Structure 1
């Protein structure tokens, strides 16, 4: 050996003494492995025999041999009739090698927007979070129990890659009634939230380097999905009629992401002329529109606005929806609806890219929709959110003393308060100390330094009883940050 016997046995004795709940065999194994990796036991050096080690350490030979045999199986030792010899390992395997170099993200991921922080429990004013305490949990538990009782072990396999047939049928029927989309189950693919639907769109419809148009300001997730797929993003401004397409585009997009029924975060509704013009442009340019319809169910005045997918025959539109915003976030069930021809063409790829799963939850959700519970829950939440929006507007008018304007349209689960000239990121960060989590409006822009400033206030998860006190706190924080700026 390259270390003296007394040092060798001292090393093993200390490992046995400090084994902290490990078995004697595992303590010996770890001590010898670490000594080999650190270079204390050099390559080709021979260890004492198992009999000698057992006598010196007062252990059984079985314990010694079990540890040595495990090291031999993993390639740290070579055992033969002459005993145990330390194997020759690459130098890079040593524990005391130099510190690893700082990891850098691949170049195409460097521009990813900051991730959204998810708090448990959810903080007040968190955008995009529904009133989960109003979800009929006992009913949901009964539906799950019924599915498991009736179908049991048959639901433990992967299932159809495109999702459970019963849920796809239920979604198609619901969309025909609520969104004016004429589709059948073959056009519906169940996804793990709308974000997986976005990722599928990039995989099925685009190639790395092709351009994507996104709303500016807009949804973080779309930008992240496109950037991670290697698609450069061009931000298009948004006004009261929705996304503004350039009159003379300098480059043709392959994907166009928009939320026409309730733009996030500004809340505007895309006008019919703009929708039709965008459909014409996409058709003539061989582009695909990705229609994000995440909270169109919560419209508080007039009739529901039909989806773009149902406006004209064979529209070049892939429609995305999610139950995370209408039911509860951890459900993680979304869906995409494709035109018939596209759905047929990509079916083999869907089977390669997806594996199915969450079968019991999908079957329970199908019952929830088909038995009318979903429609009743939406109606109940619509009444609740309409009332909360009115109360939040009143609290803002009463308590927010700085110049501001309120937008976010006639629906949804958030209000956007435009407040010129504030450090909205600083206000949002300070607000977390008071268990408030508004979004900073500027952070939803491709270039936050050039975006409008303000706060995005989600009221879906926030009781109206706390609105006045919370706005009072935000008003104080805005004044505090202004003094710092000044």
Structure 2
């Protein structure tokens, strides 16, 4: 048997001393592997590799102990373990190797090469991969990343400590599926005052970020095969949520007044869900006009559709008064108002929410109990206090002033280096979009910028219909100091000139940019 499974490694005095010295030097507790564990692992490997074929009779515990130079107890325990997990069968005739599904263990001849079948992922997984734009969110110019170094950590720490003092140990258990009542009430009060949302705490459902809120809307209000409308260009997270729900996605074009849904689309491709970002369309920055908001609500009511209003950064308005929510335009509108604290606080908080219409709160309660498990209770209680104490409002005020300054610095830099290119957006949020000539591949430009420590996004990557893709860059300024924006834009201009200089040698072989198309019924 020893020639099959090999000798066991003993920890003699010299080896133990050497091991202890090495462990002390590296601050790692290195201990010799027990003989019993070594024996179990060697026998398992021999059985799986076929060196001990199915049906083989193993030596008696006494004989194997003598051969291996270990105590009989070690062998007995090893055999018992192997029998417990099914490697061997023990009866009055002795201990035999079990029949296993491994070809080697069955004693079949080894195959020269093993062909690994291609993994059959769900179709939606390929769609996600095709539309993904890889970038480092820690780099400058990243869209959607707030000024993390300006967050009031001391105030947040006090809010967390207060939550722990008052809520432990009860807050360590599961919470209400819809979230902590204190946070739901605090969010409702803030939304009524700051965003014109018509709601109370009973309508607010806390989620793990805005993405879970979108997924929840899909699960609650659609069935596979339903049609969902999404802005084009638009937020890829909405498309991902619709793909995950096996919905048919219809790209709806965006113009200067936001989502422009033609009347015939309501008849030919009646939707069940409509995703829109009315206060600050992502990524173009357009504001959905009041006329279109009212028309969307009226059409949605007639065809039994639900509108998802993603107010992802409506709090950060730079000019004039904040634009009120679409949800608050009419009473009990068919609007699912979605928001999060990723932009206004910090992304790692992972707290989002959806405000349900009052008329459906009772009907969805049972489903929510099955779908959600209350968690992050301490963070929710801390956030409730952070809002109620006024710290959240003060932080927002400071961030609005900071982002206004940074946006102006970005505009000045773009005016110097991209004077002839149109700039999209600017009245809200933490990003601008700049259009580029068709001769510049925006995805290639974004990839080259990544190597220089910058992470703008390719505007074409937000296209839902590849044939209508806009060419340009989406440039974030939330996470980049004003003094760094000028040099960063200068780098982008250098990269554009570099790409323009390469064009004469590529004219005959230039290929169109590959665009990943989502599953769509058609474009309108």
| TM-score w.r.t. length of structure 1 | 0.94
1:409 corresponds in structure 2 to 426
> Does the 8 Å contact 1:242/1:263 carry over to 2?
yes
Q: Matched residue of 1:257: which SS? A: strand
1:25 corresponds in structure 2 to 36
Per-residue deviation, 1:108: 4.3
Distance 1:29 1:63 in 2: 10
Q: Is residue 2:325 matched to residue 1:311? A: no
| Equivalent residue for 2:153, pick from 137, 152, 165 | 137
1:203 corresponds in structure 2 to 219
**1:271-350 equivalent positions in 2, closer than 5 A:** 271-350=289-368
Q: Is residue 2:285 matched to residue 1:267? A: yes
Partner deviation per Cα, 1:260-306 (whole Å, 9 max, x = no partner): 00000000000000111111110111100000000000111111111
Per-residue deviation, 1:247: 2.4
Unaligned 5+ segments in structure 2 are 12-29, 505-524
Distance 1:20 1:151 in 2: 42
Per-residue deviation, 1:56: 2.0
2:162 corresponds in structure 1 to 146
Distance 1:264 1:301 in 2: 18
Distance 1:352 1:93 in 2: 45
Distance 2:261 2:103 in 1: 54
| Equivalent residue for 2:389, pick from 371, 374, 379 | 371
Q: CA RMSD in A?
A: 2.1
2:492 corresponds in structure 1 to 474
1:45 corresponds in structure 2 to 56
Distance 1:88 1:398 in 2: 75
Select between 376-385 and 441-450 the one with higher mean Cα deviation.
Answer: 441-450
2:17 corresponds in structure 1 to none
Per-residue deviation, 1:91: 3.9
Select between 109-118 and 98-107 the one with higher mean Cα deviation.
Answer: 109-118
Per-residue deviation, 1:429: 1.0
Select between 254-263 and 421-430 the one with higher mean Cα deviation.
Answer: 421-430
Per-residue deviation, 1:464: 1.3
Per-residue deviation, 1:7: 2.9
Q: Is residue 2:126 matched to residue 1:110? A: yes
Q: Is residue 2:7 matched to residue 1:7? A: no
Select between 386-395 and 460-469 the one with higher mean Cα deviation.
Answer: 460-469
| TM-score w.r.t. length of structure 2 | 0.87
> Does the 8 Å contact 1:317/1:339 carry over to 2?
yes
Per-residue deviation, 1:448: 3.9
Partner deviation per Cα, 1:330-379 (whole Å, 9 max, x = no partner): 00000000111112210100010000100000000000000111111111
Per-residue deviation, 1:208: 0.2
Corresponding pairs, count = 478
Aligned CA distance change for structure 1 residues 93 and 174 (closer, same or farther; 3 Å)? farther
Distance 1:430 1:447 in 2: 25
Per-residue deviation, 1:16: 7.3
2:181 corresponds in structure 1 to 165
Per-residue deviation, 1:21: 5.3
**1:74-93 equivalent positions in 2, closer than 5 A:** 74-91=85-102
